[in-house]
Amino acid sequence: MSEERFLVTGSMGCIGAWVLRNLVRDGIEVLATDLSTDPTRPSQVMTPAELRSIRFEQLDVTDPDTVRSAVVENGITHVVHLAGLQVPFCKANPTLGAQVNVVGTVNIFEAVRAAPEQVRGMSYASSLAVLGPGEMYADLPIRDDVRLAPTTLYGAYKQANERTAKVFWEDWGVGSIGLRPYVVYGVGRDQGMTADTAKAILAAAAERTYEIRFGGEVTLQYADDVAKMFIESARAEHEGAAVCNLRNTVIAVNDFVSKLAQHVPHHQVTYDSESSLAWPADIDDSGLRSILGTLPHTSLDDAMVEALAMYRDLLRTGNIDLAQLET
């Protein structure tokens, strides 16, 4: 078996940064790409030496020719496709949202199709936002194959990605695994409503007040675990077009806040008990389990300990912007 060479898109994002960290620490060659050249998030989760060891190229996934040459000319064996615009950005600019999230993903599949002897596996980011309104899902836990009815453009674009993957498998044998994260937390998670649990840990480390904008039960996925799931999904070299939910920690926000107090006794984090997230927290991840076997799952306690230590270090060295607590 030849050596692995990963291409990561969206590598300046939160999950991308953790994917780079895992690959570098495992000694795997990686081509890190993003439209953005701002290394803030990768630099928050890696040492300067680790960061310097990574080859970075600016890549716009909406450009089919450069995506194709990035894959074909660099001998890429595995692709982790994370580039995308989040819910508010798709809403603010639907055309750009579709170009990045829909066309960009088609471009990745096309590039992989162009190199069948070379690319052995790929994973890409879908989202739980492909689901319809929470009331549609009385039958719990929510399985991978439930009816989809996204209520946002972002969700509609992710659903298009999932169907695209199925047709690329059926028509051209391009295998893939799409993952549907829900609430990802950890250093680097700094924007969007579901970033609030990560920001709560940062606020506790910084001794600041912070209100999590929702209560009720949530499904939490530590960024390091999510990164490992994307890497292992690409490595699975899956024959088919699987789309898999993620689960990991299910907890009431009330209990999350209490648990934080075990690590930071006088923290000033509260939550809005009147609001809750769109979907039930009871998610079935047996689909991914059946492909990968045991899934990485850092306990909430261990993740809090690691995140608090990382945030305190970043605060001490002035490498994190607390303005994120205001949004």
Ligand X SMILES: NC(=O)c1ccc[n+]([C@@H]2O[C@H](COP(=O)([O-])OP(=O)(O)OC[C@H]3O[C@@H](n4cnc5c(N)ncnc54)[C@H](O)[C@@H]3O)[C@@H](O)[C@H]2O)c1
What is the contact surface with ligand X in residues (CB under 6 A)?
9-10, 12-16, 34-36, 59-62, 82-86, 100, 104, 125, 127, 181, 183-184, 194
Positive or negative, the CA dihedral 222, 212, 179, 123 is negative
Residue whose C-alpha is closest to residue 22's, from 46, 39, 3, 5 = 46
Residue 145 has which token pair? 């194959």
Least separation in angstroms between residue 3's CB and ligand X is 25
The answer to whether 31 and 101 have CB atoms below 8 angstroms apart is: no
Measured from the CB atom, is 9 or 176 closer to ligand X? 9
Output the residue with the shortest Cβ distance to ligand X.
13
Least separation in angstroms between residue 6's CB and ligand X is 15
3-state secondary structure of 177: strand
Least separation in angstroms between residue 116's CB and ligand X is 24
Measured from the CB atom, is 150 or 181 closer to ligand X? 181
Alpha carbon distances (Å) from 275 to 143, 203, 257, 272 = 24, 20, 15, 6
3-state secondary structure of 246: coil
Measured from the CB atom, is 227 or 241 closer to ligand X? 227
Measured from the CB atom, is 57 or 268 closer to ligand X? 57
Least separation in angstroms between residue 252's CB and ligand X is 19
Measured from the CB atom, is 79 or 83 closer to ligand X? 83
Least separation in angstroms between residue 293's CB and ligand X is 23
Alpha carbon distances (Å) from 65 to 17, 69, 115, 138, 311 = 25, 6, 14, 45, 39
Give the whole-angstrom CA distance, residue 60 versus residue 243: 25
Least separation in angstroms between residue 191's CB and ligand X is 7
Measured from the CB atom, is 268 or 297 closer to ligand X? 297
